[in-house]
Amino acid sequence: MSKLTHVDDKGRAHMVDVGTKEVTQRTAVAEGFIRMKAETLALIVAEAAPKGDVIAVARVAGIMAAKKTSELIPLCHPLQLSKASIEFSPSDKPHGLFIRATVSVTGQTGVEMEALTAVSVAALTIYDMLKAADREMEIGSIHLASKTGGRSGTYTAPAQPAQAG
């Protein structure tokens, strides 16, 4: 295993100095899934949830979360993002929504945490908006799907197994 970048030689957490790193275009894609009852998914698709348009609110929440990641995750650098987008895809087997966030920056550090945070907060927002209808919803499979740019180059995650029903 390589040395952890956020821990000094005495084991203390610290923020990595990225001042000498090359400025490159960096993009990260994260994905996740929120499993729910068929009736709950139907509320989303029909835009009939009592609290309003679930997808629109979750999209805005995810974008806002990407922009605020450094305020939520202690050792993340504040970044001026050039892109943050969230896409949702309904699934009938199992019932739920796939969530995909794409975040980009031209900078000295990557945006993996911003993409993962965007997916997480979008999923939590969906849960919040629909919890009165379905307290059994389950958020899971949040992972980094891919990233480009920076010293470590391109990464693509292995194919994820199908969601458990």
Among all residues, which ones are annotated catalytic? 128
Query: Could you give the strand order of the β-sheet that contains 24-35, starting from the edge strand earlier in sequence?
Result: 83-92, 95-107, 24-35, 138-148, 155-156
Question: Is residue 104 within 8 Å of 30, Cβ to Cβ?
Answer: no
- The residue written with tokens 């805005």 in the block is 60
Cα-based angle 46, 139, 29 (whole degrees, multiple of 5): 90
Phi, psi of 113, rounded to the nearest 5 degrees:
-65, -35
Residue of 26, 29, 50, 48 lying closest to 107 (CA atoms): 26
- Give Cα 64 distance to the centre of its chain: 11
